Amino acid sequence: MNEKAAFPDADETTPENSTATSRTDIGDGLKEQSGEPPKQESPIPDTTSEIPNGGLKAWLQVLGSFLLFFNSWGIVNSFGVFQTYYESNLLSSQTPSQISWIGSIPAFLLLLIGNITGPIYDTGHFRALIFSGAFLVTFGMMMTSICTKYWEVVLAQGICVGLGSGCLFIPSVAIVSTYFSTKKSFATGIAASGSSLGGIIYPIVFYKLQPQIGFGWAVRVMGFMMFSTLLVALTVMTPRMRPTKKRALLEPRAFTEPPFLLFSLGIFVGFAGMYVPIFYIYSYATNATSTSENLSFYLLVILNAASIVGRILPNYIADKTGPMNILIPCTLISGILSFVWMGIDSTGGLIVFSILYGFFSGTMVSLPPTTIVSLSPNLGVVGTRTGMSTSCAGLGLLVGTPVAGAILGQSRWNAMQAFAGAIVLGGTAILIGARISKTGFRLMEKA
**Confidence check: pLDDT of 348 > 50:** yes
**Confidence check: pLDDT of 336 > 70:** yes
Which of 116-130, 230-244, 279-293: highest mean pLDDT? Answer: 279-293
Between CA 340 and CA 214 the distance in angstroms is: 37
Between CA 147 and CA 135 the distance in angstroms is: 18
Residue 34: the pLDDT is 43
Q: What's the average model confidence in pLDDT over 217-223? A: 95
Quickly state the pLDDT bin for 16 (edges 50, 70, 90).
very low
Residue 444: the pLDDT is 64
Residue 115: the pLDDT is 73
Beta bridge partners of 26: 29
b/e string for 228-257 if b means 16 or more Cβ within 10 A?
ebbeebeeebebbebbeeebbeebeebeeb
**Confidence check: pLDDT of 38 > 60:** no
Q: What's the average model confidence in pLDDT over 361-386? A: 77
305 within 8 A of 358, measured Cβ to Cβ: yes
Quickly state the pLDDT bin for 380 (edges 50, 70, 90).
low
Which range among 116-130, 238-252, 254-268 shows the weakest confidence by mean pLDDT?
238-252
Quickly state the pLDDT bin for 169 (edges 50, 70, 90).
confident
**Confidence check: pLDDT of 154 > 90:** yes
Regarding predicted confidence, which is higher, 224 or 58? 224
| Maximum distance among all Cα pairs of the chain, rounded to whole angstroms | 90
**Confidence check: pLDDT of 177 > 80:** no
- Which one-letter amino acid corresponds to residue 402? P
**Confidence check: pLDDT of 133 > 50:** yes
Residue 247 CA, distance from chain mean position? 20
Among candidate residues 389, 280, 277, the one with its CA nearest the CA of residue 327: 389
Between CA 200 and CA 220 the distance in angstroms is: 17
Between CA 23 and CA 207 the distance in angstroms is: 73
**What is residue 292's three-state secondary structure?**
coil
Quickly state the pLDDT bin for 308 (edges 50, 70, 90).
confident
Quickly state the pLDDT bin for 112 (edges 50, 70, 90).
confident
pLDDT digits (tens, 9 = 90+) for 49-82: 576 767 788 888 889 999 999 999 889 888 888 9
Whats the size of the chain, residue-wise? 447
pLDDT digits (tens, 9 = 90+) for 19-34: 333 333 434 443 444 4
305 within 8 A of 367, measured Cβ to Cβ: no
User: What percent of the chain lies above the pLDDT cut of 90?
Assistant: 36
Q: What's the average model confidence in pLDDT over 88-97? A: 89
The average confidence (pLDDT) of the chain is 81
